[in-house]
Amino acid sequence: MLLKNKHPLLMTVLCVLIFGASSVQAQIAPNIQYDTSYPIISPVHSQHGMVSSEHALASEAGLAMLQRGGNAVDAAVATGFALAVVLPNAGNIGGGGFMLIHDAGSGQDVALDFRESAPALAHRDMYLDAGGNVIPDSSTFSHLAIGIPGTVAGLELALRKYGTLPLKDVMAPAIRYAEQGFEVSPHLAAMLQTEQKHLGQWPSSKAIFFKNGQPLRSGDRLIQKDLAHSLRLIATQGSKAFYEGEIAQKIAAEMQQHHGMISLQDLKDYKAIERQPVRGSYRGYEIISMPPPSSGGVHIIQMLNMLEHYPLREQGVNSAQTLHQMSEVMKLAYADRSEYLGDPAFYQVPVRGLTSKVYADQLIQTINPEHAMPSAAIRPGKPQPYESDQTTHYSVADQKGNVVATTYTLNLNFGSGIVASGTGILLNNEMDDFSVKSGVPNAFGLVGGEANSVRAGKRPLSSMSPTIVLKQGKPFLVTGSPGGSRIITTTLQTILNVVDHGMNVAEAALTPRVHQQWMPDQLRYEKGISIDTLRILEQKGQHLVASPVMGKTQTIQISAEGFDGFSDPRNPDGKAIGY
């Protein structure tokens, strides 16, 4: 060799070209240790407990309860009340939601339903004009849009039956945040700016979220004295303060002044309900999720039953074949949702049929692996023969094996935009989650029918999907998301990313998502899906639509090594925190 060792750099280049980089590495640097780890990003790790929510202050409130010896339910209730202060667009005591609890001591799984309900004066055609047409904004941005709030009743029930700490203790952080205020983040400031029209038309809302006639800006301090007062009343008097006492009086007065329907009697009659979760299995894991009036648990299990037939791991995450199969499965599930899901007190939901693996076997026979079926050609299936007899999510896990998944909502960002005067409480616009007219899409484009029509005392159908995955009978994954109709598919993809694709919870959150809800016939996708993949999907007949971000998951994975948590960076204010 003419060059010998006189030009080592040139020698290295030649060796790379001739023998390949790995051979050269072995020859010239046998002792160098390169990174052999696989994770693209690592989640937060802890040994004793974990809280993951959409705001760091709320996560810290929950963690403080764990550190003082409380259990996961104590932490979940503290987080829920704190989010009512620091996440005004979705955290709430003026809305409602669902909580899923795994109690380690008894091995029991409990679903708490504190979904809003329709007032006694509500009726099927309340949002239609004389011509039978939907009155614009009546079910979204008016006092008629407000359902009876359930959050306070639900959180109190959870704490009383499954928690260990006093209500005044778990509410202390929320009261402090409301009284002393907190700094408005760029993310919250942007949302206030976007929703200024709806918030700004109500003096009670404008007094809190505006300054000098404009929405609060990043760096301003949001102080909520009226809300602090309301929270103190609840902390000392319990839910009676909200449903029968001073707060109830103020909410009823707000309704009466603006021709709303909620009365003092409606508030007094409200009850949170304990239900049995829906259950399924997927590749040896047990799936536990929320039953109706949530549609989420039923359809997550239904879709997993169908997807279990496909080799997703071998096909690869977000490959064209995997995304095509997911899109077709989603269409079938959402078509069934439009027909069969509603409040089980008013409609017999065929839960067993919809979650039957035999029914899933039948449905996948209709899926063409090479071409999309037009949504217009899909009709709700017939699950009965298989019967056989802006929203936020947070997840909590403690060292005793208790886990809690909670999703609750005001519906749209800041709900109705209406603060009940003197309470500081933003009220929901959850009545839009009913089918205000059969076949007419709601604010999320979801179509419904008679099963979800408006009736007095009825709870509107929801997509909220707090979910727990068990491995060998013990909690393995706790997850959920906000996102309206996209909650179900976001939660589904989180489970697939962990179980099928071997991702940690951070990688699972960062992976681009897709969504298909039958009507409209669109496969929505986040940026990050390859152009080549999108071209193949178009060739298969998928109608592609680029989408803003979908979902903001809060996920905890539990193993013998401890807890791995991750707050979806689609909301930069969120935080997973443990100790």
Burial pattern 482-493, b for ≥16 Cβ within 10 A else e, equals: bbbbbbbbbbbb
User: Is 392 annotated as catalytic?
Assistant: no
3-class secondary-structure state, position 202:
coil
Q: How far apart are CA 255 and CA 158, in angstroms?
A: 28
Task: Please give the Cα distance from 474 to 110 (Å, whole number).
Answer: 15
Out of 391, 490, 533, 553, the active site residue is 391
Measured distance CA(358)–CA(369) in Å, rounded: 20
Cα angle 47-48-52, degrees, rounded to a multiple of 5: 95
Residues 6+ apart with CB under 8 A from 164: 69, 70, 71, 73, 74
Q: What is the DSSP string of 259-273?
A: T----HHHHHH---E
409 is an annotated ligand-binding site residue? yes
- Establish whether 294 is an annotated binding residue: no
Strand-pair category, 108-114 with 273-275: antiparallel
- The candidate with the shortest Cα–Cα distance to 198, out of 392, 425, 429, is 429
Residue 343 CB neighbours (<10 A) = 23
What HEC string does 117-168 produce? ECCCCCCCCCCECCCCCECCCCCCCCHHHCCECCHHHHHHHHHHHHCCCCHH
Q: Does 53 appear as a known binding residue?
A: no
**Residue 269 counted as an annotated binding residue:** no
Structure tokens at 569: 């960076």
263 annotated ligand-binding residue: no
CA 292 – CA 488 distance, rounded (Å): 13
Pairing verdict, β 544-546 and 523-525:
parallel
Token pair recorded at residue 229: 């007062």
| 484 annotated ligand-binding residue | yes
Can you spell out the DSSP letters for 213-239?
TEE--TT-EE--HHHHHHHHHHHHHTT
198, with CB counted inside 10 A (0-12, 13-18, 19+), is buried
As a residue count, the chain comes to: 579
Q: Does 218 count as an annotated binding residue?
A: no
Supply φ then ψ for residue 351, to 5 degrees.
-60, -45
Q: Determine what percent of the chain falls in helix, strand and coil, rounding each to the nearest 5.
A: 40, 20, 45
Does 491 appear as a known binding residue?
A: no
Helix count (H) and strand count (E) of the chain? 21, 23
**Which residues belong to the annotated binding site?**
115, 409-411, 433, 462-463, 484
Q: Catalytic residue numbers? A: 391
What residues are designated binding site for L-glutamate?
Answer: 115, 409-411, 433, 462-463, 484
